[in-house]
Amino acid sequence: METQLIPARFWEKEGDAVRCQLCPHNCLIPEGRKGICGVRENSGGQLYSLAYGRVVALNLDPIEKKPIFHFLPGSKSLSLATPGCNFRCKFCQNWQISQERDRVLSVDFVPPERIVELALRYSAQSISYTYTEPTVFYEYAYDICRLAKEKNLANIFVTNGYINPEPLVALKGLLDCANVDLKAFREETYRSVCGGRLQPVLDTIRLMHDLGMWVEVTTLIVPGMNDSREELTEIAEFIAGVSRDIPWHISAFHPDYQMMDRPPTRMDVLLEAEVIGKRAGLRYVYLGNVMREANTVCPNCGAVLVRRIGFNVLENYLSINGGYCPECGFKVEGIWTADSTGSLG
């Protein structure tokens, strides 16, 4: 088995330790130890990425599964993950690969060129860095992103948003789209349930939008954690304050990992959150993990512009009309054709 330790980016020496500056944890890592993510190690006073090329999940997904609804709808995205995460969410749905970090060097090495080759072979229009946290395999994602852009493939992060501004800015022109999990709007929830802080996530959403990346936001509504009217209103108002055109995906919780004691999210709570989002001024609010259509509707005239059931796109009038409603001419923000991705960033 090929073993490679790839030098990490965004760090500095502090005596015999190194200070990782990739994410807001800013871990001070002693010799021979790893950061909170479990996949960045101080070896000989140098910081290395253990996750580079160690692919633990690789699938061809509908882009709607990310979930991404306003970026190349109906297309396929080659989706990949390596082990590790800089959060420890108690409700993680992919904990087997995000939290089991000790297996990282037992995973076969897949070079960036191979990922791009596979995306082209299977006619994907994008590559998604997902399932675990792409920030912690930043160097690998960055190298794939560069190669992907040379082949006119789009790049998508599905992320917790816990990344420092400098590495995020370095992705300008490479990263086209992101779905950011906004898990709550309480600092205590982020600290006790996720192992992080709220403010850096809010800053990431704003910065991604300012950098010209297409941004969508997902909130998993967990009973008793973030499902109050007050907190949902604060989330919706924050998103609308960045842009009313950011799609908000409201997803139903199902018991998993260390939150097996919570019930699934009730449908009436999801429907109330949908009303809250629209009342806050958001033009596009979608319900996830439920059996109902998740359509893109014209905010001006109410025409159904993209009809979806599950991850399947049944009708799509926006891609053939350049993003304009064919009934009233309203411009629906998003990236509707592959040709338009080149304008991002």
Write the pLDDT tens digit of every residue in 70-114. 999 999 999 999 999 999 998 888 877 877 666 666 678 999 999
Residues 257 and 187 in one domain: yes
User: The pTM is what?
Assistant: 0.95
Beta strands in the chain (DSSP E): 6-7, 11-14, 17-20, 28-29, 40-43, 46-49, 57-62, 76-81, 126-129, 154-159, 177-181, 214-221, 248-252, 285-288, 296-297, 304-309, 312-316
What is the pLDDT, as a whole number, of residue 105?
A: 60
Q: Are residues 121 and 35 in the same domain?
A: no
Task: Indicate whether 31 and 63 sit together in one domain.
Answer: no
Do 118 and 177 lie in one domain? The reply is: yes
Domain for residue 308, yes or no? no
121 and 188 belong to one structural domain: yes
For residue 30, what are the domain limits? 6-49
> Has residue 225 been placed in a domain?
yes
What is the per-residue pLDDT across 128-155, written as a single tens digit (0 to 9) for each?
Answer: 999 999 999 999 999 999 999 999 999 9
Q: Is 99 in the same domain as 247?
A: yes
Q: Are 107 and 83 in contact (CB under 8 A)?
A: yes
- Domain-located, residue 154: yes
Residue 331 belongs to a domain: no
Same-domain check for residues 266 and 122: yes
Domain boundary among 265, 292, 319: 292
Is 307 part of any domain?
no
On whether both 282 and 231 belong to a single domain, the answer is: yes
- Does the pLDDT of residue 292 top 90, yes or no? no
Same structural domain for residues 24 and 169? no
Q: What is the overall mean pLDDT for the chain?
A: 93
Per the domain annotation, does 312 fall within a domain? no
**Residue 311 within a domain:** no
Tally of domains in the chain: 2
Distance CA 295, CA 325 (A): 14
27 and 68 housed in the same domain = no
